[in-house]
Homo-oligomer: A and B are copies of this chain.
Amino acid sequence: MTDLDRLPVTPDDIRQAAQRIAPFVHRTPVLSSRRLNEMLGAEVVFKCENLQRIGAFKARGAHNAVFQLDDAAAARGVVTHSSGNHAAALSLAARNRGVPAFIVMPTNAPTAKIESVVRLGGDVTFCEPTIAAREAAAARIEAERGATLVHPYDDVRVIAGQGTAALELLADHPDLGAILAPVGGGGLMSGTAVAARAASQTIRILAVEPAQADDAWRSWSTGVLTAGDPPDTIADGLRTTLGGNGFVILRALLDDFATVSEAAIVEAMRLVWEVLKVVIEPSSAVPVAALLERRFDLGGRKAGVILTGGNVDLAMLPWQAKAS
């Protein structure tokens, strides 16, 4: 049995995060559908973080990080490099604290993402679209402004914040026998794992990753943290590499780990839109795809899935791209 209090993020960190962020985030609804249960061959409930502020669970971790800073540090602002939901989340959290958010974005970031950050008051710095350029630009802002870097997923404050989604889900459904989330950088999955194991010694903690972005699965299976092949998946939120803190936590707490095909992700995404009637982005569909393909033996357990976000381009839906 793992001593949870020796992990980089503890159950207490998550409980404190929940109190800290409560004024700023939605307690999102949990949905279910008898028809979807029939199709998945299991009783499944869905924690709708696509209905969270900024349309993704990332609002949780960002608020937990920003609201833990002391006043002097906060006043100097926060900085991150991200072209995704974390950039919007950090902008919102900083605005709620009344401090600047410096967001480094690659010049090829989608216009909608840039607009979203600007709308939320983020101060955007563009850089070349390479990891090295992004990190260099963020480091410069850290040095020049004294701003605090808030890493999108390997920051322990961020991981604790992301864990609050599972905390709420388990409070609403204490009878869950399994909990599933997707893995990108590992922030959500790590927080979910700690919250779930604190709630139950027997709950099955199940991770899912796109087969075409399976670095975390490789790292978890082999015990060696590896970057893997360059990710090439429709699940744009999961194109990141597992962080060190996530690696430690997932190695300690995961019961099983599956990878799923791109076709299964698209099918699961469409199914959730059609049956559950909520808009989810491809990353959210990744654990649903694993259930659809019976990749885990749930043995009659009731399962909870965290739907991570709903930020998609409605003009370019994957099942239509396929049809044309």
Q: A55-B277, A277-B50 are in contact. Are A319 and B315 (CB under 8 A)?
A: yes
Complex interface: chain B residues within 8 A of A319 (CB): 314-315
Q: Please state if A314 and B274 are interface contacts (CB–CB under 8 Å).
A: yes
**Bound form: Cα–Cα A280–B274 in Å:** 10
Report the bound CA distance from A274 to B274 in whole Å: 16
Residue A171 at the B interface, CB < 8 A? no
Residue A223 at the chain B interface, CB threshold 8 Å? no
For A314, list chain B residues within 8 Å (CB): 270, 273-274, 317, 319
One of B274, B280, B315 near A323 (C-beta < 8 A):
B315
Output the least CB separation between A44 and chain B (Å).
Answer: 15
Min Cβ gap A24→B in Å is 11
Q: State in angstroms the CA–CA spacing of A119 and B51 once bound together.
A: 29
Q: Is A41 an interface residue (CB 8 A)?
A: no
Apart from A29-B31, A51-B276: 15 A-B pairs, beta carbons within 8 A: A29-B29, A50-B277, A51-B277, A51-B278, A55-B277, A274-B279, A277-B279, A277-B280, A277-B310, A314-B319, A315-B319, A315-B320, A315-B323, A317-B320, A320-B320
Q: Is the CB of B277 within 8 A of A277?
A: no
Contact of A278 among B119, B270, B274, B278 (CB under 8 A): B278
Question: How many monomers of this protein are in the complex?
Answer: 2
Chain B residue numbers with a CB within 8 Å of A276 are 51
Q: Complex Cα distance A323/B313, Å? A: 14
**Nearest CB of B to A60, in Å:** 16
Chain B residues lying within 8 Å of A51, measured Cβ to Cβ, are 31, 276-278
Contact with B along A17-56 (1 / 0, CB 8 A): 0000000000001010011000000000000001101010
A–B complex contacts, Cβ < 8 Å, 28 sampled: A29-B29, A29-B31, A31-B51, A34-B53, A35-B119, A50-B277, A51-B276, A51-B277, A55-B277, A270-B314, A273-B279, A273-B314, A274-B279, A274-B314, A277-B278, A277-B279, A277-B280, A277-B310, A278-B278, A278-B279, A314-B317, A314-B319, A315-B319, A315-B320, A315-B323, A317-B317, A317-B320, A320-B320
Q: Which residue of B lies closest to A35 (CB)?
A: B119
A270 neighbours in B (Cβ, 8 Å): 314
Inter-chain CA distance A276–B311, complex, in Å, is 10
A51 to B277: give the CA distance in the assembly, Å: 6
Query: How many Å lie between the Cα of A276 and that of B119 in the bound state?
Result: 17
Q: Which residues of B contact A278 (CB under 8 A)?
A: 51, 277-279
| A237 CA to B66 CA, complexed, in Å | 46
Task: Give the complex CA separation of A68 and B319 in angstroms.
Answer: 43
The interface residues of chain B lying within 8 Å CB-to-CB of A29 are: 29, 31
* A279, B280: Cα distance in complex, Å: 10
How long is the Cα–Cα vector from A29 to B48 in the complex, in angstroms? 11
A276 to B52, CA, bound (A): 9
Closest to A120 in B: B35
